[in-house]
Amino acid sequence: MDQLLEFINNHMLLSGLFASLLLALLVTEVMRMTGKSRFVSSAEAIRLINREDAAVIDVSASNDYQRNHIVGAINISPSQLSGSHPQLKKLQDKPLLVYCKTGQASYQAATKLAGAGSQPVYVLRGGLAQWLQDHNPVESA
CATH number at residue 52: 3.40.250.10
Using one digit for the tens of pLDDT, what is the confidence trace for 57-96?
Answer: 999 999 999 999 999 999 999 888 866 678 888 887 889 9
Domain match, 23 and 70 both: no
Domain match, 3 and 52 both: no
Using one digit for the tens of pLDDT, what is the confidence trace for 117-136?
Answer: 767 899 999 999 999 999 99
Domains identified in the chain, total number: 2
Domain match, 105 and 127 both: yes
Expressed in percent and rounded to 5, the helix, strand and coil fractions of the chain are: 50, 15, 35
Domain match, 14 and 69 both: no
Domain match, 3 and 51 both: no
pTM of the predicted model as reported, rounded to 2 decimal places = 0.75
Domain ranges, residue 117 = 36-139
Closest to 95 (Cα-Cα) out of 59, 44, 32: 44
